[in-house]
A and B are shown apart, each in its own frame.
Chain A
């Protein structure tokens, strides 16, 4: 199994006629993803890479039974695009757009959550359940190189780090059940601990690896979930950005969200809090597979 997406996922791509939409659609089809429809208002009736294009998500869902949406939509349209897919009945959505204005982001998140839909993003490069499905550009033109299938769940605040973690796992003989770049913006559809609770319930996930950053309360909620007993599988945590503590608060060095607001938001405070809660805190990628060897069996053939 896996979380959120699998062989049953039927994908509609909003903005399929744009450059990014077209490019990712081609690579996703090559990976075997069930992309059943695209949407661009005014382009209904056309086809992209053999995928039929519709004018609205509702038309696409009615005609093709799509149940997940990938959004390649510019900043100004992203709030409405999320709400459109939610109203059309899509239950998993992925929004790649970054630096979404906060009021737009929270309105889209509220619409999705109120409908029981799962919004991945904002500012994500995707989610992948290896060998089954992927949404977004994650894995590029060769997902197998970085994301072999296995039994470790990965949740990362950064798309690049989701790849680095999965690749480090692969080098150490582990594969992933699902890897998700949950979004690097401050506002994301779901919190890190909500993803981990899905992995907790997934019989095919043995352990989870998280990548966190300064700012936001995502990591502290993971700590609370472990302490409250909602997470019993091993959680390995890498939290970067400790160097920022040498500089004045409010300076952002990467993701805008990774800005230190108060002392509980620093990488050092988050590491301490996670360790106290019972997570396995590492400071480098190479430690992850070594640590896992004492906790769970290997799940993929070791790689050179």
Chain B
């Protein structure tokens, strides 16, 4: 979850880190008032969780409350990613003597620090033009980042004198915040030093690890990944919240082949195979093991009520733990509830493993269903559903033409 600037800075401030004074405004008048309180010279920024706001004209410097008001009027009228800017962050401007860059993120297996003595500008541009001035290092997560590790790195980056220990100490504190806040990414640009040698975190962006949000209830008000505009996607998300066990995922796409696929890997491969054979999936899905069938039924209901869907492939990897009839029980319920006629809406099952005999017997109670014979490959499942869906599509064209 990406945080907006005021949340990021509040979190850093609450850990005792030096952040400029600032506040949130929603109108030009509020902005001017805040500017007055902050001493006149302020930066006015669109409060959106997006990078490169400066380039998009969403950050303006003002020397007085009047200028701040004009800047606010300008920015509040703009759009970013199709949404209007509704809130502004108004921040006291500092005298800056030096600017640096530091960020924390992850490589596949370890936390990673990136730092540069060239702060205040786009780091990717710095890396392109002066790659030597950008340092990267993996951090041993079992040990953490000690102040002397940071001193070493900043000294390699060219820092000397009083600035070196100041910036190094702050860097170690930032790493501690990165860990404590379960951040996935924390970027400070610029990390500024004022003419008196005092440091300040002027630009700050942070993203929290979604998998760790459960231990940060204080952040739970933020925009959730559990939100969707699509009613069928929303119903699946609601089922995830309502029932225990692993979550189901359902993402609607533009095609007509409904997919109930599981096992992150086999699901990806089947989708590739279908696309490669000329088919177009109506959705993607993924199931995690859950004690009940409700979350699986929610995905099946979504497929059966999606107006674009003409067919359904239930394609699992060879099951090693979960019983096959668990899936078919969910199917029988959802087929009945949605009054699906499998002779007109093809349903293909590729489902092998524990309790397969029971699953086959139960599936046979649905007229028209195709349960692929033992030994059929993932390719066989993909080919069958693509062919059957093609026939349904042709038939419906003929009907429409009559």
Binding site for B on A (CB under 8 A): 75, 98-104, 106-107, 109-111, 114, 125, 137-142, 146, 156-161, 163-164, 167-168, 171, 184, 186-188, 191, 211, 213, 216-218, 238, 240-244, 246-247, 251, 253-256, 258, 267, 283-286, 304
Contact = CB atoms under 8 A, between A and B. Distances in A.
B375 A243 contact: no
Interface in B87-111: 106-111
Contacts of B266: 158, 160-161, 164
Contacts of B264: 158, 160, 184, 213, 254-255, 258
Interface in B260-312: 262-269, 271-273, 275-276, 281, 284, 286, 288
Given A98-B246, A158-B263, A253-B286, 16 more contacts: A102-B106, A114-B142, A142-B354, A158-B264, A158-B266, A160-B317, A161-B266, A163-B317, A168-B377, A187-B106, A191-B109, A217-B108, A241-B268, A255-B265, A283-B276, A284-B378
A110 B263 contact: no
3 smallest beta-carbon distances between A and B, as pairs: A158-B265, A160-B317, A160-B263
Given A110-B143, A158-B266, A283-B276, A188 B379 contact: no
A68 to B, nearest CB: 20
Nearest to B289: A20
B253 to A, nearest CB: 8
A242 B270 CA distance: 11
B79 to A, nearest CB: 18
A107 B108 contact: no
Contacts of B184: 102
Interface stretch (B28-36, B318-326, B359-367): B318-326
A109 B318 contact: no
Contacts of A164: 265-266, 269, 317-318, 378
Nearest to A287: B379
Contact of B320 (A114, A139, A188): A139
B211 A110 contact: no
Contact of A102 (B212, B214, B215, B246): B212
Contacts of A242: 272, 275
B353 interface: yes
Contacts of A251: 251
Q: Give the residue among A110, A111, A186 with the most B Cβ atoms within 10 A.
A: A110
A188 B110 contact: no
B50 interface: no
Q: Give the residue among B141, B184, B269 with the most A Cβ atoms within 10 A.
A: B269
Contact of A103 (B143, B212, B317): B212
A285 B141 contact: no
Contacts of A156: 265
A110 B142 contact: yes
Contacts of B253: 247
Nearest to A167: B318
A96 B275 CA distance: 32
B272 A283 contact: yes
A254 B269 CA distance: 11
Given A140-B321, A161-B266, A253-B271, A107 B377 contact: no
Interface string B346-377: 00000001100000000000000000000101
A103 B179 contact: yes
Contact of A106 (B109, B316, B317): B109
Q: Give the residue among A99, A102, A184, A256 with the most B Cβ atoms within 10 A.
A: A102
B142 A188 contact: no
A75 B271 CA distance: 30
A254 B265 contact: yes
Contacts of B140: 110, 114
A302 to B, nearest CB: 12
A161 B270 CA distance: 11
Nearest to A171: B375
Given A102-B209, A114-B140, A253-B251, A184 B108 contact: no
A235 B184 CA distance: 33
B321 A101 contact: no
Contacts, number: 166
A112 to B, nearest CB: 9
B122 interface: no
Nearest to B183: A103
Interface of B: 106-111, 140-143, 179, 182, 184, 209, 211-212, 214-215, 246, 249, 251, 253, 262-269, 271-273, 275-276, 281, 284, 286, 288, 316-321, 353-354, 375, 377-379
Main secondary structure of the interface of A (DSSP, over half): loop
Q: Give the residue among A125, A218, A242 with the most B Cβ atoms within 10 A.
A: A242
A140 B319 contact: yes
A170 to B, nearest CB: 10
Given A102-B212, A187-B106, A253 B378 contact: no
B128 to A, nearest CB: 15
A267 B272 CA distance: 10
Given A109-B110, A146-B318, A304-B375, A240 B268 contact: yes
Contacts of B179: 103
29 contacts: A98-B288, A100-B211, A102-B184, A102-B212, A107-B141, A139-B320, A156-B265, A160-B265, A163-B320, A164-B318, A171-B375, A186-B108, A187-B106, A240-B269, A240-B271, A241-B272, A243-B271, A246-B275, A253-B251, A253-B271, A253-B284, A254-B249, A254-B286, A256-B211, A283-B272, A283-B276, A284-B273, A284-B377, A285-B269
Contacts of A137: 320-321
Nearest to B142: A110
B129 to A, nearest CB: 20
A161 B317 contact: yes
Contact of B263 (A159, A187, A267, A284): A159
Contacts of B377: 168, 284-286
B379 A184 contact: no
Contacts of A240: 265, 268-269, 271-272
A140 B289 CA distance: 14
B141 A110 contact: yes
B212 A254 contact: no
A253 B268 contact: yes
A95 to B, nearest CB: 14
Contacts of A171: 375
A286 B377 CA distance: 8
A160 B211 contact: no
Q: Give the residue among B179, B263, B276 with the most A Cβ atoms within 10 A.
A: B263
